[in-house]
Amino acid sequence: MKELVIKSTIREAQLDELTEQERTLIQKAIEATDRSYAPYSHFHVGAAISLQNGELFMGCNQENAAFPAGICAERSAIFAAGAKYPDQPVTMLAIAARNPQGELQEEPVSPCGPCRQVLIETETRFHQPVRILLYGQKHIYVVDSIKQLMPLSFTEF
């Protein structure tokens, strides 16, 4: 049996180390947490994406008593952007979350499996990586492609 070692590169940054565009996107993700509908989990997630044409879209999680009829913040933002600008690549995604007490998470949160798969599809569709900013009050993780979070991914066959 052969052992494979798969490495990911994730950088840790402070807000003041990011570009103005990155800080703006994180602020939009934080703002989107206030629009979340999470009466069951009480975990409010916001996402913001930028498109290649400069347009920004926000998304937030929307829960439903009939699980899994809700949608995550990341997918709501990506699908809203795709509905308006189907030919525009996503260049960057920021994610922020609030805990049940309404406080921003101390540590960054990462996308769930289905959201990671949608991001893989987005990168594959447009043949370019999506820069991901995972916000936490203590620090921000900066990821250059979803492939760093999901190196063994399912793509078109």
Is the pLDDT at 68 greater than 90? The verdict is no
Count of residues in the chain: 157
Cis peptide before 68 (omega within 30 of 0): yes
How far from 126 is each of 26, 51, 82, 135, CA to CA, in Å? 23, 11, 12, 25
Q: Which residues are catalytic?
A: 74
State residue 157's pLDDT score.
55
0.85 exceeded by pTM: yes
Structure confidence by residue, pLDDT tens digits, 83-95: 999 999 999 999 9
Q: For 48-60, what is the mean pLDDT?
A: 98
DSSP 16-66: GGS-HHHHHHHHHHHHHHTT-B-TTT--EEEEEEEETTS-EEEEE-B--SS
Q: In what order do the strands lie in the sheet with 140-143?
A: 11-13, 140-143, 131-135, 90-98, 44-51, 56-60
